[in-house]
Structure 1
Amino acid sequence: MPDKSIKLLTYNVHSCIGNDRKLDPGRIASVIAEAEADIVALQEVDVLRRRTGGVDQAHVIASLLKMQAHFHPALSIAEEQYGDAIITALPTGAVKAGPLPSIGEARGALSIEILVGDRKLLVVNTHLGLRGRERIRQMTTLLNSGWLRGPSDEPVPGILCGDFNAIPSSATYRLAARSLTDAQLAGSAAPRATFPSRYPLMRLDHIFVTEGLVVQRATVLQTRLTRVASDHLPLLAEISFA
């Protein structure tokens, strides 16, 4: 594991159902393996849902990659769950997970402390709502109520990532950009759209970093595989400690 930088991938996997309507968690794992990501933030993950064959998608993808999965259900109906996951082979510490203020579909966030060499890194993964006012409340919660702070309130360098359902001209994006750095602006020649995967028009998926972190590069992965595996393209950033 490089001590200097880590590769983080954020990916809305659409319940592992591709644009060809094929259900294939293995395909998602292949995308992640090809990217050589150290930390993976997934949104729209199904766990024990009848519609996707009753499997634990977070666990299946993690085991194919020889990593560990941490999953938080934004939505639970009996044993069926749907939500966000963070997958990594790096040692992990404190975990925080919970709901975000939601108007429509229930939304949540998952935060994990990850050890990179002898440094601590906080990774927060989320999938924000579809309404503008709802997203602003959710982003305000993530920025203000301890999500991006260590368990004892110590300042730990952090990453906030996921599907924000928000384009860069939106109030939600601007709220995040006020105190955090957009990895695509810091680490790529020109920011690229992530949705829809076949003909990307909108930049909805984001990686933001706090002070103490430097983005080396950021890329939206556009390959034959990523264009079919999900309706979103994955966003990959290489990040190091300042």
Structure 2
Amino acid sequence: MPRILTYNVHRCLGTDGRLSPERIADVIAAYEPDVVALQELDVGRLRSGGVDQAHAIARALGMHVHFHASLRVLEEQYGNAILTHRPSQLVKAEALPGWARRPSLEPRGALWASVQLGGTEVQVINTHLGLRRHERLAQIDTLLGPHWLGHQACREPVIVLGDFNATPRGRVYRRLTAHLCDAQAEAHLPKPKATFPSRLPMLRIDHVFVSRSIRVLRVETVRTPLARIASDHLPLLVEFQIVHGKGHKPNLVHAQE
């Protein structure tokens, strides 16, 4: 069965203060995912030794990489990526809106790739939303709109995942679950699994949301000793099955609250 994993790698800076893309790759490799969504990657940045972290991790895993820079400063980049060893095509990679009252906030973005899994094209959207409620609401409104999830090419099956900086109690989470299913809820876990902070996880802000043509079989937070120090987030892994015969679009309505 296909596996997908989302992981905020914190520019590969561990809780022990060590920079190591190799360690991040080792955490991921142990679970053999087909698709990996990564957030907070440094590419060519002085602070992390000029390494292209997206390609370094992809090479270690034997995967192709689609990268989108949310932030560019001269030759330095910082952003998110989708990695996979399956045939894939980048559909879209763009900035998300910020909050007009706070133009100095960190830029945010999303990328969408179409990935062949089990003979089916799965639409995978990876994102990392802002820290402020107002910007998150603007960003999720965009993702639910006609250029992303409401786009005619965004047909089932669909997976939206990443670091949403939003707990299940917030409006961002409720807006998404009005149209897609939280993989953790679909797995009927005795207790939902938190992902942040990695040493003592208390918050559930990293999520995987799936359309109704995806049957969630297993959800796991990776809590290995290495995962607890490799980043300040834990990875979230979802194993699933595609239910064939449902070629419709997700039931998305672009509505303001």
TM range (shorter): over 0.9
CA displacement 1:154-193 (0-9 Å, x = unmatched): 6231100000000110111111111110001111332111
The CA distance in 1 between the partners of 2:146 and 2:106, in whole Å, is 21
1:74 is matched with 70
Pick from 45, 58, 63 the counterpart of residue 62 of structure 1: 58
2:181 is matched with 181
Kindly provide the amino acid, as one letter, of the partner of residue 83 in structure 2: I
Deviation, structure 1 residue 56: 0.5
Deviation, structure 1 residue 149: 5.8
Query: Is the CA contact 2:123–2:155 (under 8 Å) kept in the aligned structure 1?
Result: no
Q: Does 2:18 match 1:22?
A: yes
Deviation, structure 1 residue 212: 1.1
1:202 is matched with 203
Percent identity (aligned): 51
2:160 is matched with 160
Deviation, structure 1 residue 133: 1.4
- Structure 1's consecutive aligned runs of 4 or more residues displaced over 4 angstroms after TM superposition are none
Pick from 85, 90, 113 the counterpart of residue 86 of structure 2: 90
SS at match of 1:129: coil
**What CA RMSD, in Å, does the superposition of the two structures yield over aligned residues?**
1.2
SS at match of 1:191: coil
The CA distance in 1 between the partners of 2:195 and 2:119, in whole Å, is 33
In structure 2, stretches of 5+ residues that fail to align are 100-104, 244-257
Query: Is the CA contact 2:144–2:150 (under 8 Å) kept in the aligned structure 1?
Result: no
Q: Does 2:135 match 1:134?
A: yes
The CA distance in 2 between the partners of 1:110 and 1:13, in whole Å, is 17
CA displacement 1:139-162 (0-9 Å, x = unmatched): 111112232367x53623110000
CA displacement 1:83-110 (0-9 Å, x = unmatched): 0000000001242100101132100000
The 1:154/1:235 distance shift into structure 2, 3 A limit, reads closer
Kindly provide the amino acid, as one letter, of the partner of residue 59 in structure 1: H
1:47 is matched with 43
SS at match of 1:44: strand
Calculate the TM-score normalised by the size of structure 1: 0.95
In structure 1, stretches of 5+ residues that fail to align are none
Q: Does 2:189 match 1:216?
A: no
